Amino acid sequence: MEAAFGGIEAGGTKFVCAVGTGPDDIRAEIRLPTETPETTLGKVIDFFREQQKQQEIAAIGVASFGPVDPDPSSPTFGHITNTPKPGWANTPVAPILKDEFGIPIGFDTDVNTAALGEHSWGAAKDVDTFVYLTIGTGIGGGGMLDGKLIHGLIHPEMGHIAIPHDWERDPYAGTCPFHGDCWEGLANGPALEARWGQPGQQLPPDHEAWPLEAHYIALGVTSIMMIMSPQLVVLGGGVMEQEHIFPLIHQEVKSLLNGYIQSPTILEGIDSYIVPPALGGRSGVLGAIALAQRAIQDD
């Protein structure tokens, strides 16, 4: 049997582990609650050990909740760093797996990995410079420039940029503990729920919540467009499951740009420029498998 790759989507509430070579060849998959590192990583190791009896696993990729150190040249590469999540601060996830299995281990942020999944098999196939944003409990951003995952000084988060807050239209102060009404503070899922008294999935599509939400999302997206000039913007995460807001976002982005970017991609094709992830909720674990495939090449 052809060698497979392991993928781990390490989230703050659950871990998803899979073995396979891509979306059409997932040979096994489990979901585990995120408990202590010992318990959860123990179960992860058991799963892959069991799978190794069926087939060779050539490498494992990890899409991790953060903050993380994704720099392969750093002594703390593959660690979850200063997370407030109890027990998980300074957990050397990639080194533990490397010691256990002795195979190449890829490691990156959950958002960058989801971006890689969409690049390998989803909405960003054949697109080398794009952004993937998740808008849910928080707002996080990742993506690629010229085919390389974006890292920089620290991996960029993108969610905490300052945006104009129209207090007359929206007196809600924002959820962010650092900045109050930054982009994440005004546009994440908890802000939506706090502002309107119920979670987004319970608000009807014609509720006044949505034009305001689309306005805020569009403000952040246009800043990213002007700074990075992506060829595509993929919007995922819990809030974006309300797909009826995509057309509102398209309109708001065009209105905010006000003709400034004279590209037919945006002027005529914005419906296919700002899009949902094609892999839906599977971008992360599939991206982790793609990360494992890259880890082999880089090793």
What residues are paired with 5 via a beta bridge? 20
Binding flags for a second copy, 164-203, as an x/- string (CB under 8 A): xx------------xx------------------------
| Touching a second copy, residues 116-145 (CB under 8 A) | 129, 141, 145
- Any alpha helices (H) in 85-133, and if so which ranges? 93-101, 110-121
Whole-number Cα distances in Å, 277 to 101, 119, 121, 273: 32, 10, 10, 12
Q: Which stretch binds a second copy (CB under 8 A): 116-124, 189-197, 198-206, 260-268?
A: 260-268
- Which of 151, 207, 281, 296 binds a second copy (CB under 8 A)? It is 151
74 in helix, strand or coil? Answer: coil
96 counts as binding a second copy under rule CB under 8 A: no
CB of 260 to a second copy, least distance (A): 4
Q: Which stretch binds a second copy (CB under 8 A): 47-55, 84-92, 105-113, 251-259?
A: 251-259
- Which of 26, 261, 278, 296 binds a second copy (CB under 8 A)? It is 261
Query: 60 vs 218, which CB is nearer to a second copy?
Result: 218
Joined together, the tokens standing for residue 176 give 């962010």
Query: 165 vs 250, which CB is nearer to a second copy?
Result: 165
Residue 287: CB partners within 8 Å, gap ≥ 6? 7, 61, 63, 113, 114, 115, 116, 117, 118, 120
- Which of 9, 58, 103, 155 binds a second copy (CB under 8 A)? It is 155
Q: In which order are the strands placed within the sheet that holds 25-33? A: 25-33, 14-22, 4-10, 57-64, 105-109
267 counts as binding a second copy under rule CB under 8 A: no
Which one, of 228, 196, 230, lies nearest residue 213 by Cα?
196
Q: Which stretch binds a second copy (CB under 8 A): 23-31, 33-41, 57-65, 228-236?
A: 228-236
- Which of 265, 271, 272, 280 binds a second copy (CB under 8 A)? It is 265
Pairing of strands 14-22, 25-33: antiparallel
Q: Give the separation between CA 66 and CA 134, rounded to whole angstroms.
A: 14
Angle between helices 189-196 and 209-228 (to 10 degrees): 150
Q: Give the binding site for a second copy (CB under 8 A).
A: 67, 82, 129, 141, 145-146, 148, 150-165, 178-179, 219, 222-224, 226-231, 256-263, 265
